[in-house]
Amino acid sequence: ELQYPERLNCAAALLDASVARHGGDRPCLLTGTETWTYGDLLRRADQTARVLTEDFGLVPGNRVLLRGPNTPWLVAAWFAVLKAGGVAVTTMHLLRSGEIGALAALTEPDLAVCDHRYTAELSAAVPGLPTLVYGGGSGDDLIRRSEAKDPGFPAVATSADDVALLAPTSGTTGVPKITAHFHRDVLAINDTYGRHVLGARPGDVFAGTPPLGFTFGLGGLVVFPLSAGAAVLLIEQATPDGLADAIADRAVTTLFTAPTMYRALLATGKAEALAGLRTCVSAGEHLPAAVWREFHAATGVEVLDGIGCTELLHIFISAERDRIRPGSTGRTVPGYRAAVLDEEGRPVPDGEAGRLAVRGPTGCRYLRDERQRGYVADGWNITGDTYVRDADGHFWYQARSDDMIVSSGYKIAGPEVEQALLRHPDVLEAGVVAAPDPLRQSIVKAYVVLRDGASAGPGKTAELQDFAKQEIAPYKYPRSIEFVDSLPRGLTGKLQRYLLRESAAKQV
Ligand code: 3UK
């Protein structure tokens, strides 16, 4: 059991405490052109808190929508809102006005802090929302106002159970859900995953791709590095080449990104640029054993797979250093418990597939949403994933529970078929879903993106089908294959299988 004081402000516990412990001179936030020390961040966060409270009338409990790519001022704004007792409504900056409007209707923000390049869609979505704009050079409202403020801002003495964060998640259907997290939750992810798995040190330099509007990014690029007194390289828009170069040039030791980027980093051919990495974290979707092995062979680095979700804030099952089984997500992070349950909520024996259920210091609290009932049962969070636990407590990802394809009574996991297809040299990407079928109820349908130079056609279909039958049980092979130019992916890079399912359903 983690114990926190009744009065707890997570922003002060992270930032003020770090400056008190290590001094303010350590590098904290790095960009291509700037370095902010811990002292710089604290001063700017405090001055921003003064702008929000003195000029915009923010009072504790107010909700502040944050919108912008990963930059130091976005981090300063996040700390300012929380130190002032506000609630940070973190959003993905690439959302369009329709999506922002939907989030604003659910979260009812009192004001916004927005990067100057992203104000148009915000004001179109929420006309009249008081907005503090930053990043516009000399006309910059936030910088102009904050420089006129005194340094120092006493953190509001929030309770450990006050809501700190409203984090939206798209869910499988595309209708957003808003998850609420308390001040203590922000520290709990560090006291579990951060402490026991990551083990960051003050000399570490973090970098990564997830936006701070995604809790994977907020944890990996703000909470964990700052708890350790480490530095973070903030990248607004990472390309594989740019990321590989930055890792070498800035001596990055700790990388947070998703499986797709690990593949892409390998494809740059810049493996030697990655050799200085000490810790690589992969989350967001399953990390196939083949990618883990390729990355290890090329760089010598053992990627740590871990599953997290917005509902639990961060990672609760993770690989551990020196005891990695490639293809497995790992074991429960100390502080969490996980079980594999059948449809009635009873544990299934080790080795059998079932629904993943998790409990621990963080948990799902949807804001006004009927889906809370489906996600939390008896204190267990049902993540919507199908897993197998082995006798040693390692968890093996099978599929999203709702991706399971049932064909002629056989249970087939789409991702398993995808991984089989990905082992074919001509296949760049694959998305596999159920397509309705009068005879078999469903058949396995694959959407395939071929590599440059490979050509689609009936011959290729038969070749891939034969290949799949060699790689996995023949009944799992894709009876239907459609060649496409790209697969639908969400802002976090996750394959949007529901869109493929919709398309497959329409074509029958
Ligand atoms: C899937 C994985 C297999 C899984 C997230 C780390 O992804 C995050 O949050 P989301 O709410 O999605 C949650 C769902 O994504 N997933 C995530 N990681 C893995 N599947 N292996 C993995 N390693 O379906 C899960 O239910 O977008 C990840 C930290 C914070 C996060 N919010």
Left if phi > 0, otherwise alpha if psi is -120 to 50, otherwise beta: which for 251? left
Determine whether the shortest distance from the Cβ of 307 to ligand 1 is under 6 A: yes
- Look at residues 158, 148, 278 and name the one whose alpha carbon lies nearest to residue 207: 278
Atom 14 (ligand 1) nearest CA: 309
φ/ψ of 115, rounded to 5, equals -60, 135
Instruction: Name the pairing type of β-strands 131-134 and 111-115.
Output: parallel
400 CB within 6 A, ligand 1: yes
3-state helix vs strand vs coil in the chain, percent to 5: 35, 25, 35
Please tell me the distance from the alpha carbon of residue 4 to that of residue 455, in angstroms, as a whole number: 59
Output DSSP code: residue 58.
Answer: -
Mean pLDDT of the chain: 93
Answer whether 362 contacts ligand 1 (Cβ < 6 A). no
**CA of 26 relative to ligand 1 center, distance in Å:** 32
Atom of ligand 1 nearest to the CA of 397: 3
Return d(Cα 289, Cα 73) in angstroms, integer: 38
Ligand 1 mean position, distance from CA 420 (Å)? 21
**Which residue do the tokens 């596999």 mark?**
432
Sorted by sequence, the CB contacts under 8 Å of residue 20 that are 6+ apart come out as: none
412 compared with 191, residue with greater pLDDT: 191
208-218 pLDDT per residue, tens: 999 999 999 99
The DSSP 8-state label assigned to residue 241 in this structure reads: H
Task: Tell me how far the alpha carbon of residue 258 lies from the centroid of ligand 1, in angstroms.
Answer: 10
Q: Are 74 and 88 in contact (CB under 8 A)?
A: no
Domain 280-401 part of CATH 2.30.38.10: yes
Six token digits for residue 486:
């790209």
Spatial distance between the Cα atoms of 351 and 411, rounded to a whole number of angstroms: 15
The verdict on the CB of residue 398 being under 6 Å from ligand 1 is no
Q: What percentage of the chain exceeds 90 in pLDDT?
A: 78
> Does residue 314 have its Cβ closer than 6 Å to ligand 1?
yes
145 lines ligand 1 (CB under 6 A): no
Mean pLDDT of 384-405: 88
- Token pair 């402000």 is found at 9
**Number of CB atoms found within 10 A of residue 378's CB:** 8
**Whether residue 407 has pLDDT greater than 80:** no
- Which residue in 84, 94, 259 sits closest to 183, CA to CA? 84
Q: Which two tokens stand for residue 119?
A: 């104000």
Q: How many CB atoms lie within 10 A of CB 2?
A: 12
Can you name the residues that pair with 36 across neighbouring β-strands? 29
**pLDDT attached to residue 411:** 59
Residue nearest to atom 10 of ligand 1 (CA): 309
Residue 313 to residue 301: CA distance in whole angstroms: 26
User: CA-CA distance, 172 to 375, in Å (whole number)?
Assistant: 12
The Cα–Cα gap between 393 and 366 comes to 29
CA dist., res. 42 & res. 186, Å (int): 18
408-506 is classed CATH 3.30.300.30:
yes
Pocket test for ligand 1, best of 92, 190, 303, 307 (most atoms within 8 A of CB): 307
What is the DSSP secondary structure assignment for residue 154, as one 8-state letter?
P
Q: Is the CB of 403 under 6 A from ligand 1?
A: no
Residue-level length of the chain:
508
Domain chopping of the chain, boundaries: 10-23+38-182, 280-401, 408-506
Determine whether the shortest distance from the Cβ of 309 to ligand 1 is under 6 A: yes
Model confidence pLDDT, tens digit, residues 221-238: 999 999 999 999 999 999
* One-letter amino acid for residue 486 of the chain: S
Which ipTM did the prediction report? 1.00
Q: Kindly report the protein residue whose alpha carbon is nearest to atom 8 of ligand 1.
A: 309
CA torsion sign for 275, 278, 284, 289 is positive
Question: Could you tell me the distance, in angstroms and rounded to a whole number, from the CA of residue 453 to the centre of ligand 1?
Answer: 33
Beta carbon of 308 within 6 Å of any ligand 1 atom? yes
Handedness of CA 415, 96, 176, 361 (dihedral sign): positive
User: Is 199 within 8 Å of 211 (Cβ atoms)?
Assistant: no
pLDDT for position 437: 81
What is the structure's pLDDT at 172? 45
Give the whole-angstrom CA distance, residue 202 versus residue 303: 21
The DSSP symbol for 84 reads T
The bridge status of strand 353-359 relative to strand 337-341 is antiparallel
Residue with tokens 């990248």: 235
Minimum mean pLDDT range among 336-350, 356-370, 430-444, 478-492: 430-444
Q: Is the distance from the beta carbon of residue 210 to the nearest atom of ligand 1 less than 6 Å? A: no
- Averaged pLDDT for residues 474-488: 93
For residue 283, the CA-to-ligand 1 centroid distance in Å is: 6
Task: Determine the Cα–Cα distance for residues 241 and 124; give it in Å rounded to an integer.
Answer: 35
Q: How far is the CA of 404 from the centre of ligand 1 (A)?
A: 17
The closest of 81, 138, 82, 147 to 112, measured between CA atoms, is 81
Is the CB of residue 315 below 6 angstroms from any atom belonging to ligand 1? yes
Is the Cβ atom of 169 under 6 angstroms away from ligand 1?
A: yes
pLDDT tens-digit readout, 154-204: 999 999 999 999 999 865 444 689 999 999 999 999 999 999 999 999 999
Cα 284 to averaged position of ligand 1 atoms, centre (Å): 4
Ligand 1: centre distance to CA 307 (Å): 5
Which amino acid is located at 12 in the chain? A
| CATH superfamily, region 10-23+38-182 | ANL, N-terminal domain (3.40.50.12780)
pLDDT in tens, 99-132: 899 899 999 999 999 999 999 999 999 999 999 9
Cα 251 to ligand 1 centre (Å):
28
Residue nearest to atom 2 of ligand 1 (CA): 285
Which residue bears the tokens 């680095």?
A: 301
397 lines ligand 1 (CB under 6 A): yes
Distance from chain centroid for Cα 330:
17
